[in-house]
Amino acid sequence: MEEQNRKVKNHLVSLKSGKKSFALLIDPDKSDEGYLDKCVSLSAEAGVSFFLVGGSLVFKSIDPVLKYLRSKSDIPLVLFPGSVIQLSPLADAILFLSLISGRNPDYLIGNHVVAAPFLAKESIEVIPTGYMLIDGGMTTTVEYISHTKPLPANKPEIAVATALAGEMLGLQVIYMDGGSGAHNPIPPAMIEAVAKATHCPLIIGGGIRSGQQAFDAYSAGADLIVVGNRVEEQPSFLSEIKEATNQFNSQLNS
Q: Footprint of ligand 1GP on this chain (CB under 6 A)?
A: 25, 177, 179-182, 205-208, 226-230
Which CB, 228 or 235, lies closer to ligand 1GP? 228
In whole angstroms, how close is the CB of 206 to ligand 1GP at the nearest point? 4
Element (H, E) at 78: strand 77-79
Which CB, 88 or 180, lies closer to ligand 1GP? 180
- Which ranges constitute the DSSP H helices of the chain? 7-17, 33-46, 63-72, 105, 111-120, 141-146, 156-168, 188-197, 211-220, 229-233, 237-253
**Nearest residue (beta carbon) to ligand 1GP:** 205
Identify residue 103 by its one-letter amino acid code. Answer: R
Which CB, 15 or 122, lies closer to ligand 1GP? 15
Which CB, 168 or 213, lies closer to ligand 1GP? 213
In whole angstroms, how close is the CB of 26 to ligand 1GP at the nearest point? 10
In whole angstroms, how close is the CB of 232 to ligand 1GP at the nearest point? 8
DSSP string computed for 95-157: EEEEETTS--HIIIIIHHHHHHHHHHTS-PEEEEEEEEEB--SS--HHHHHHT-PPBPTT-HH
In whole angstroms, how close is the CB of 54 to ligand 1GP at the nearest point? 9
Q: How far apart are CA 201 and CA 142, in angstroms?
A: 22
In whole angstroms, how close is the CB of 3 to ligand 1GP at the nearest point? 28
Q: Which of 185, 183, 184 is nearest to 203 (CA)?
A: 185
- Other CB atoms within 10 A of residue 70 CB: 15
In whole angstroms, how close is the CB of 117 to ligand 1GP at the nearest point? 26
Which CB, 193 or 217, lies closer to ligand 1GP? 217
Which CB, 123 or 135, lies closer to ligand 1GP? 135
Q: How many CA atoms lie within 13 A of 177 on its CB side?
A: 30
